Structure 1
Amino acid sequence: MMASTAANSYHSQYREESDISESKRLAVQTFFANETQQPLTERLQKFVEAFQDKVPLQQREQQQLEWTAYLLARAPATFLDELEQCFRQWLLQYSEEMQEEDSTTTFLTNVLQILGWFDFAFVQQPLQKAVAFRIQQIARDLIQGDYETPNLLQVLLSECQQAIPSILHQINLEENVRSVFGKVRLDELFEMVADYPDSQPAVQDLQTLCQTSPRFAQQLTHSLKQTLIRRLCHPGAETTQIMQMYIHTIHCLRVWGLSSAAVTNPVRTYLREQRSDTVRCIITSLTTGDLYEELRKPQALEHMVEDEDDEEQPPTMEWQPKPSIFHPVAGHDSEDILALLVSIYGSKEVFVNEYRLMLADKLLNQLDYQTDSSVHTLELLKLRFGEQSMRHCEVMVKDVDDSKRTNAQIKEELRDSVVDSVIVSHIFWPKLQKERLQHHPRLQTPMDEYNRVFSRLKNPRQLVWFSQLGTVDIELDVFDKGGEVVTKSFSCTPLQVTLLLHFEDQPMWKLSDLSNETSVPENVLQKRLSYWIGHRIIRHIDADTYELVLPTEHHYHENTETPEDHHMHYDEGTSSAVSLTAHEDEEMQVFESYVVGMLTNMGSLPLARIHQMLKMFVTGSEVVVKDPTPQQLAQFLQNLVAQNKLECGPDGMYKLYGK
């Protein structure tokens, strides 16, 4: 009797397992048979219903693995992609505030729990991808383009905790949020750095990621470096923009605790080798722009960041390897922005010389002898660059102050004098414009009278005038469009006033005759005459003839002016008092003897090799010159070729002439 009972129990269990296996086979067959007609959600629902209906409660834990394995063994290659899309839709529709018993989100949660898929590895990948995708959607809506809201990382984490079912929080939700947050910010690094310091809250958020994830710090370093190269190192970017972005990058890297050398070296090299106006832009920003606060720092430029490859001294026992870009040691990066900018060229003398040029222009263009702002800036520069470096600039400012007193003394004797002058000590000033100009007698006479009194007061000193420098204020009675006489004031160059006075003596002139009278080339006269043409005081008759506009012809002149004449009204205006061309030529001449000696010893060399060797010469030389760009050097070598000092072969190799 007992044997019969055991046999019946065995047969009953066998039939039950057989029924379950058959139900499993039919459920899987139905699942894939309706693949094209029904969405995955509905097919999963029927599959779970079959599982619940056919598998007893006490056997479900065991059957979860068998049913899942049977399903996956017959699933197509696209099944996991479909599952990921299903999870994405699930997360998109999810809402903790509104859940119904028969809702899709609740059902999918039950599906994962009933089938036990939360514990299966094959579900983790599509589920994590779906969670990451949902976090990306939330992140782009919440944080993209917002750099000023503080603690956005925490805000995003809180938002994601509410927007993603709590059952999924166990899948490293916080790590996924940090990863997505970092990716979003890496895509907008350039804009975020450009907006600094307004973007400081966003920069602070990334500081947390850099401190906790060396891998993210490496990604940030590489991404920012490539972005700077792509967005800045090309002719379309202005030098001022490149320099400003460079400074902002330094500030941000300090917040993140990363070394600036790994990121900014390409930008530094581009500024040094491809932009000839870098030093001028830095000095302009330093004296009147965003870098003025850096100038006010009291410490001198003691910390200079140098290229370790160029160190002349061999390593000692105290030598230390370069610090990691992720954990820079204290003091490796200069805390002084100005020191970093100066280190682009490796010599503060280059910046002092550039400031000297700019100061000369500023002082000579001021008509009121006011030097207070220049003195204030000069005192700050002396603190930063050293008092000895600014000695020439001190003398220049003193010359203006002395000129004010001398001018007042001369005016006491010449009550009606209309001449003011700045008397410069030419040894301390940069080279000034020396173009010839024979002034009109009405200009030259008061200047000669001024010189006579000066010679008596300062005997035996004499004044040597820079003929084309200065400003002349005049008032003219001109005719407006209605033919009425009106008085207008003009501030002109001495050449422009000289030309007008000649037309007052004689109403019509040929360019050649004016050139003989003024000792100025015809092409320069043509540009300066366009100033008066633009004010309808002189008109252009033919190729080389100009005429003063008379009252009866004024209306006719306005109606008959040709487009070609209008195009000629452009005048470059007052040029710089400092001869920048002469200054650059003087710098380039320093290299001539070195180039000649180089080619004497080595025969013929290409431009690139000459440029490389000159860079080493500039670095190790005590002569204060800027490293020439390849374009400047090529022009300089071509000038030497034109002077029959060098030869350039068809292969681009330079050698000494006749060798």
Structure 2
Amino acid sequence: MLMTRVVHSEIARKVRAVVDAADLRSQDSVLPLESAARPVLQQWLDDQMKPRFAAFRELCLGPSEAEPKEGKYVEHNTWQHKLDYELDKALCLTRAGQLFDLVALYPESSAALEDLRLSLQSADQRLNVAKTLSSSLHMRLLHPGAHTRDIIQMYVHLVRALQEMDPSGVVLSRVVSPLRRYLRGRKDTVLVIVASMLGDDPDFTLLKDELERADQEEQEQAEQAENKRRRRPRRSLQTTAPPSSNKTNGKRPTKRRLPNSRRDATYVSDSDASSDEDWDDPHWVPKPVEAGSGYRMSTSKDIISMLTSIFDDRSGFIAALEKSMADQLVQVKSYKAMKEYRNNMILKKRFGERNMGKCDVMLGDVTESRRIDSEVHHRRLPSSGSAVEGMVSRLHPLIVSRQFWPEHTTKPGSAVGGVPTSSAAGAGAPVGTAGSIAEFTLPPLFRHAQEEYGKTYSQSKAMRKLHWLNHLGTVELDVELNSGQSVAVECSLIQASTLEVISRCKGRSTQAQSATAGANVITLTDVMEELNLQREKDARDALEFWVQVGLIEPVAGLVDAFIVLTSLPARVAAGEEEDEADDEPL
């Protein structure tokens, strides 16, 4: 009747006002997005709306008709329960419009998601909630303007939040399939997933935390199984049957194993693992009628497996893991790769030792490089005090087996940094975008140091020699200026080589010399000719690095010409003094 429609309309308005700040009135108070609203709304309904509605009913119908009669579904079909249903329905529909933001805020939004979980139990609005969320995902996330890392991050939040909000898995099964199809079509999805599991980005460690959490849970389950096995009592060999003199009765009956027995199975395909009929699950329940095509997958607690199963072929995913591992190993210092060793152990449990074989070889190269480097320095005679000997004593290359490392790592000019048959990667790890540079010729001082190190290496490794990949490696420098000031810098090998050219080049441009009143000038052409560079970008990037450090500055009015400074600029010197003050003991 009319009064019922008015009350339902007021309930919906009140929910929108409290939850979504819409249709506000003076007596309404808006709650924060992530706060629980259901208890507040339920109290409002019980304290204000229900008494008023009861009074209207009694006034219109009379005392005898207003009271529910026995035998007419009193408990579940009273007007009080209908109002509760309308409140939960309105809350579901309002929260559904906010669900995208609630998922993005998870776990801070757990209280608001609890509103939805409780409301869905009484008002079955799962399909409407799923439809609204799916529309929000298509509009706000699944488009070319969104970064793949943001989509992956939302995927992880989505699985965690919706499994908590809707344990039945219906909502997640309805929205996860379009998201997986969209990720399958992006070219960098695999690389982003691998980077999120193994990278060091503090803003994107969700999958890395999930990987470690799954490993800890697996260890705890293994320990519990081991303890349970130890506590299990031994079975008695006695039988309750009476002894028999017949020899055949005393024999132990033989058990015939069926050829198709489960214990003979050694491999289960992905399609079998995701089958609707999971015979090994003691908690198996039928698939809900409203569930989508990805229902069985949506009930899994393993987010890593859900992501990796986006692709039918795991070979591309394993190749991306190998590339990521190589990129991290060429950046280790002092051969310390404990974090990479631990990551590899976790990944081997996840993907199998056979699939991670190349990663094992790469990690073995780090250990072997540390042993060889110690032997090379032990074989060399005491330093004669020359500059070359001093540089050799500080040279610690990573020697790798090139055939087991990704090509993008060992090939100069690739998009990502790589390593020096055996190959040696400079004096350390690449910095910045040094791995994207092409080949170049080292200055004589650096080149002679590499040659001396290679000779000693060949003495311990007969019939082998080092092929140096100079696009890798870092150099730690203490640069002293004519003013007596010094600055400590860690840079790439091409940047260090550029500084060596700067230190001994007086400039060849007459125009630059005249414009700077005889000051030492270095030009882009000087660096390219000295280092035999083929790309202007490599030389320009190296010079720009030393501009930022404060050792050179551009010449006004001239392109690609730089004055060599004899003292640090005021801004750099002030920064150095501030750093020294911070390092003073209290």
Which bin holds the TM-score, normalised by the shorter protein?
0.5 to 0.7
The superposition leaves residues 155-179 of structure 1 with CA deviations (integer Å, 9 ceiling, x where unpaired) of: 4212221122514154732122112
Which residue of 2 is the match for residue 28 of structure 1? none
Which residue of 1 is the match for residue 564 of structure 2? 549
Q: Please say if 1:536 is aligned against 2:448.
A: no
Residue identity in the other structure for 2:548: G
Which residue of 2 is the match for residue 184 of structure 1? 94
Which residue of 2 is the match for residue 626 of structure 1? none
In structure 2, how many angstroms separate the alpha carbons of the residues matched to 1:527 and 1:330?
A: 52
Maintained 8 Å contact 2:552/2:565? no
In structure 2, how many angstroms separate the alpha carbons of the residues matched to 1:547 and 1:213?
A: 73
In structure 2, how many angstroms separate the alpha carbons of the residues matched to 1:397 and 1:506?
A: 41
Match of residue 268, structure 1, among 177, 180, 185? 180
Question: Per-residue deviation at 1:186?
Answer: 1.4
Match of residue 139, structure 2, among 221, 230, 247? 230
In structure 2, how many angstroms separate the alpha carbons of the residues matched to 1:160 and 1:487?
A: 74
What TM-score do the two structures reach when normalised by structure 2?
Answer: 0.64
Question: Per-residue deviation at 1:340?
Answer: 0.9
In structure 1, how many angstroms separate the alpha carbons of the residues matched to 2:269 and 2:300?
A: 6
Which residue of 1 is the match for residue 401 of structure 2? 425
Maintained 8 Å contact 1:473/1:492? yes
Maintained 8 Å contact 2:190/2:320? yes
- Which aligned pairs between 1:112-191 and structure 2 lie closer than 5 A? 121-134=1-14, 136-137=16-17, 144-149=31-36, 152-164=37-49, 166-169=51-54, 170=79, 172-191=82-101
Three-state SS of the structure 1 residue aligned to 2:533 is: coil
Bigger drift between 461-470 and 279-288 goes to 279-288
Question: Per-residue deviation at 1:391?
Answer: 0.4
Match of residue 398, structure 1, among 357, 364, 388? 364
In structure 1, how many angstroms separate the alpha carbons of the residues matched to 2:559 and 2:9?
A: 78
Cα gap change, 1:212/1:506 in structure 2, threshold over 3 Å: closer, same or farther? same
Match of residue 279, structure 1, among 174, 177, 190? 190
Which residue of 1 is the match for residue 430 of structure 2? none
Which residue of 2 is the match for residue 242 of structure 1? 151
Gaps of 5+ in 2: 21-27, 55-78, 200-204, 220-266, 275-284, 384-392, 413-437, 509-522, 573-586
- Which aligned pairs between 1:445-524 and structure 2 lie closer than 5 A? 445-478=448-481, 484-509=483-508, 510-521=523-534, 522-524=536-538
Cα gap change, 1:325/1:286 in structure 2, threshold over 3 Å: closer, same or farther? farther
In structure 1, how many angstroms separate the alpha carbons of the residues matched to 2:40 and 2:3?
A: 28
Three-state SS of the structure 1 residue aligned to 2:490 is: strand
Residue identity in the other structure for 1:164: M
In structure 1, how many angstroms separate the alpha carbons of the residues matched to 2:17 and 2:553?
A: 67
Maintained 8 Å contact 1:539/1:549? yes
Which residue of 2 is the match for residue 311 of structure 1? none
Maintained 8 Å contact 1:239/1:281? yes
Residue identity in the other structure for 2:398: V
Residue identity in the other structure for 1:425: S
The superposition leaves residues 267-307 of structure 1 with CA deviations (integer Å, 9 ceiling, x where unpaired) of: 22322323x33223222322352223432425699784799
Q: Which structure has greater helix proportion?
A: 1
Match of residue 324, structure 1, among 268, 284, 289? 289
The superposition leaves residues 459-508 of structure 1 with CA deviations (integer Å, 9 ceiling, x where unpaired) of: 111000002211111111137xxxx4311111122212222212322221
**Percent of aligned positions that are identical:** 25
Maintained 8 Å contact 2:362/2:400? yes
Gaps of 5+ in 1: 1-120, 309-319, 559-659
Bigger drift between 411-420 and 542-551 goes to 542-551
Which residue of 2 is the match for residue 360 of structure 1? 326
- Taking only aligned residues, the RMSD between alpha carbons, in angstroms, comes to 3.4
In structure 2, how many angstroms separate the alpha carbons of the residues matched to 1:401 and 1:128?
A: 72
Cα gap change, 1:219/1:302 in structure 2, threshold over 3 Å: closer, same or farther? farther
Three-state SS of the structure 2 residue aligned to 1:369 is: coil
Q: How many residues align?
A: 419
Question: Per-residue deviation at 1:404?
Answer: 0.5
In structure 2, how many angstroms separate the alpha carbons of the residues matched to 1:413 and 1:472?
A: 23
Maintained 8 Å contact 1:142/1:156? no
In structure 2, how many angstroms separate the alpha carbons of the residues matched to 1:456 and 1:335?
A: 55
Maintained 8 Å contact 1:239/1:278? yes
Question: Per-residue deviation at 1:143?
Answer: 7.1
Maintained 8 Å contact 1:280/1:354? yes
Question: Per-residue deviation at 1:333?
Answer: 3.8
The superposition leaves residues 562-589 of structure 1 with CA deviations (integer Å, 9 ceiling, x where unpaired) of: xxxxxxxxxxxxxxxxxxxxxxxxxxxx
In structure 1, how many angstroms separate the alpha carbons of the residues matched to 2:405 and 2:328?
A: 12
- Which aligned pairs between 1:485-634 and structure 2 lie closer than 5 A? 485-509=484-508, 510-521=523-534, 522-541=536-555, 546-547=561-562, 549=564, 551=566
Maintained 8 Å contact 2:92/2:119? yes
Which of the pair has more CA radius of gyration? Answer: 1
Question: Per-residue deviation at 1:405?
Answer: 0.8
Question: Per-residue deviation at 1:336?
Answer: 1.4
The superposition leaves residues 321-370 of structure 1 with CA deviations (integer Å, 9 ceiling, x where unpaired) of: 98534499767743311111012222333222212112212111122100
Residue identity in the other structure for 2:108: D
Three-state SS of the structure 1 residue aligned to 2:404 is: coil
Which residue of 2 is the match for residue 99 of structure 1? none
In structure 1, how many angstroms separate the alpha carbons of the residues matched to 2:182 and 2:378?
A: 56
Cα gap change, 1:303/1:226 in structure 2, threshold over 3 Å: closer, same or farther? farther
